[in-house]
A and B are shown apart, each in its own frame.
Chain A
């Protein structure tokens, strides 16, 4: 609401741009982030590079202040038109440790996050889970069913990731549009119930 630093054009603008909203898709390398974005995006996924600095170090609650570092991160993203006035963006971001505290830029204002997990390489997603927990971003863990197989019981995954029972855990197939849609709906419903609980709190 208060973020309107730019003057409205005086010459009658034909139409107001849509309101952008976003969901962040995180996870280790090769876990299916780009595939998921491609399955549901209405534009072919785009890639861009961002130089990110560790400017978000203040959210590191460990008391450790890392030296300011700069890393180039590739992001794949896509979008979905929700209606005439709202556009949903999906930003896929590397989940590796070295990017851990560089996500503030990307994550601020996000409706939530989807952390994609490959059960063969569970530890790849620890940094993302850690980050979203600390940053207070509502997230859902989604196990990508490679080749339609699910090798681990979901309870084992929850135990291994040490995420609380409040974090929804779903399975999905990153290649299937409707499956990706359902995973994103899980993210939104999770965010909704948290926002609702917060609104109801005295």
Chain B
């Protein structure tokens, strides 16, 4: 499950390179389930970007979570967070984060219950 023991140097080094040495995103608290959607500005700016940033903008034409971005692009979650926060700061993606009070939000919980009950 943990993997990586065989090759610790590579797994630690590469993410740092990818994020230009930064590990702290603009907002490092961005949740793994936060929804990321490419903005019109982002869609028009794809050609100016390279590598993972470009891949994220292409992927997020369909809205998806930070976790999905990480899995699909084979990035560590922490790296995906940095890149998404960067793109959000540039206005290239719109991010919808979870509401902090969701676990106490009776209407939201009921809504999820109804949605699950409808599954067949």
Q: Which residues of A contact B (CB under 8 A)?
A: 1-13, 15-22, 29, 40, 43, 46-51, 71-75, 77, 79-83, 86-89, 91, 94, 105-106, 108-112, 138, 177-178, 181, 184-185, 188-189, 191-192, 195-196, 198-199
Contacts and interface: CB of A to CB of B under 8 A. Distances in A.
B109 A188 contact: yes
B119 interface: yes
A42 to B, nearest CB: 9
B40 A195 contact: no
Contacts of A75: 67, 77
A188 B67 contact: no
Contact of B72 (A10, A46, A74, A105): A46
B9 interface: no
Interface of B: 1-4, 11, 26-27, 31-37, 39-41, 63, 65, 67-68, 70-72, 75-78, 80, 88-89, 91, 94-106, 108-117, 119-120
Contact of B98 (A13, A22, A91): A22
Given A81-B115, A188-B112, 13 more contacts: A1-B100, A13-B37, A18-B35, A18-B96, A21-B33, A48-B77, A48-B80, A49-B76, A49-B77, A72-B2, A80-B119, A94-B1, A109-B99
Contact of A17 (B11, B37, B113): B37
A185 B116 contact: yes
Contacts of A13: 37, 39-40, 94
Contacts of B95: 6, 17
A177 to B, nearest CB: 7
A89 B104 contact: no
A113 to B, nearest CB: 11
A8 B95 CA distance: 9
A29 B1 CA distance: 8
Nearest to B104: A195
B11 A109 contact: no
Nearest to B92: A9
Contacts of B39: 9, 11, 13
A12 B37 CA distance: 13
Contacts of B88: 5-6
A87 B102 CA distance: 13
A189 B72 CA distance: 33
A73 B94 CA distance: 28
Contact of B4 (A15, A40, A72, A82): A72
- Central interface residue in A71, A82, A110, by most chain B CB within 10 Å: A82
B106 A199 contact: yes
A2 B97 CA distance: 10
Contact of B103 (A10, A82, A110): A110
B36 to A, nearest CB: 7
Contacts of A7: 91
Contact of A177 (B75, B106, B117, B119): B119
A1 B98 CA distance: 9
